[in-house]
Amino acid sequence: MTTLLAFLATLAILIFVHEYGHYRVARLAGVRVLRFSVGFGPVLATRQDRHGTEWSLSALPLGGYVKMLDEREGEVAPDQLAYAFNRQSLGKRAAIVAAGPLANFLLAILLLWGLNLTGIPVLKPVLGEPAPASPAALAGIRAGETVVAINGEKPESWQDMHLLLLKHAFRDERLRLETQDPSGHFAYRNVIAPPRDEAFEQSPMSVLGLTRYLPPVEAVIGQLSPDGEGQRAGLRPGDRIRAVEGAPTAHWDEVVKKIRASADKRLVLRIERQGREMDLALTPRPITEGGQVIGRIGAAPRIDPSVMETLRGVARYGVWDSLTRALARTWELSAFSLEMMGRMVIGQVSLKNLSGPITIADYAGQSAQSGAVAFFSFLALLSISLAVLNLLPVPLLDGGHLLYYFAEFLTGRPVSDRTQEIGQKIGISLLATLMFFALYNDLQRLLAG
């Protein structure tokens, strides 16, 4: 239910803001708006305001629209022609169309600005022990090193580091990491990126061998997934794992290594519960991560909050600095999204990276459960993605209409109805193909999870 409500709230906010951008600029341009709808299909609720606009909530929430007075869509009374969209100047029409994506950019900037002002909990960019024989291990990275810079760019948090690694891993064959160890010594680590295969695209951090540092944690169960193998086998929060297959374990990472290496293999755990020891058998569920099949039982350790305090911080800035950072982050994420789309088009990045409504719903639910900061951060990221997508020069999208207006600007006459009809068919085909791959990927992730 949390996931569903978070998903609906996310869609409602993003759609309303996008369509309100179109609506507000249309009103300012003197165009009469007939209907403002959040959703498509059968109307669930409606009301009419004093300007004659019908505000509607429709059954299918995957989109919305603003219907304006337009001679191309029906007969317009002579005394209303001045208020028709198609009678407006080229500049006004372009401004109305561009206002939707711009509203989404504005929403993202305001959200990021507010988060920067109030403070964002962050994790410091401290690296854990890299996987054996991984590019990070070959580069000499050791547990406890803090990343100071990546190819000259400074990350301020683990989240920043992740984004910078994604950006540079797809651009450069070599990642130059400047690190600082706990004693204060600096070092330069040259991490050679492997071929950009499917495993790399799905999980570049795992393939590079880069992990987040965790202080030594006792092998005590803290949480269990409701559908995980651990809970099915009878594990409970508070259980201390003393041994796996007879091999003593003292720390959580020792348990994790053995479980990850035992996908679909029966394991016997010796646990201590309320002073009594007992054996429990379970079979780790196989999943694919970073191109490798690993085992997972759906268990997380019990961590003393004070142990993690040294790795946490709060990023908070002044009014002006918060705004400039919000603008810079919006630009950076927009450029990165556009770059990844371009790489998909030319075949450098797999279409399996596309996500559809199921994945979005899952992330919306997870972020909502993680708190307001996580949810608003996710909302800002999605708003930027929606804006960039809508500005693509594809018929049916806002960017397609702007392309027509640019052609009209160059030629001095509107694009013909025939050309627009052909473009509409192409646009429908492209968007349908895009949606097919996105839904297919969603279902594949759902079945694999």
pLDDT value, residue 302: 85
Lowest-confidence pick of 56-65, 175-184, 433-442:
433-442
Same domain, yes or no: 385 and 412: yes
pLDDT at 368 over 80: no
Output the domain CATH number for residue 204: 2.30.42.10
Question: Residues 337-351: pLDDT tens digits?
Answer: 888 788 777 766 666
Domain range for residue 420?
90-119+318-449
Domain count, the chain: 3
Specify the higher pLDDT residue, 35 or 217.
35
Q: Confirm whether 37 is domain-assigned.
A: no
pLDDT classification of 447: cutoffs 50, 70, 90: low
Q: Confirm whether 30 is domain-assigned.
A: no
Say whether 229 is catalytic.
no
Same domain, yes or no: 331 and 385: yes
**Average pLDDT value over all residues in the chain:** 85
Question: Residues 3-30: pLDDT tens digits?
Answer: 778 888 888 899 999 999 999 999 999 9
pLDDT value, residue 281: 92
Lowest-confidence pick of 96-110, 194-208, 282-296, 423-437:
194-208
Phi-psi category of 41—alpha, beta or left, where left has phi over 0 and alpha has psi -120 to 50? left
Q: What is the mean pLDDT of residues 54-82?
A: 88
Q: Confirm whether 40 is domain-assigned.
A: no
pLDDT value, residue 202: 66
Backbone angles phi, psi at 142, to 5 degrees: -125, 155
Same domain, yes or no: 336 and 401: yes
- Of the listed 19, 145, 201, 229, which one is catalytic? 19
Q: Is 400 exposed, middle or buried (0-12, 13-18, 19+ CB in 10 A)?
A: buried
Strand pairing class (276-282; 186-192): unpaired
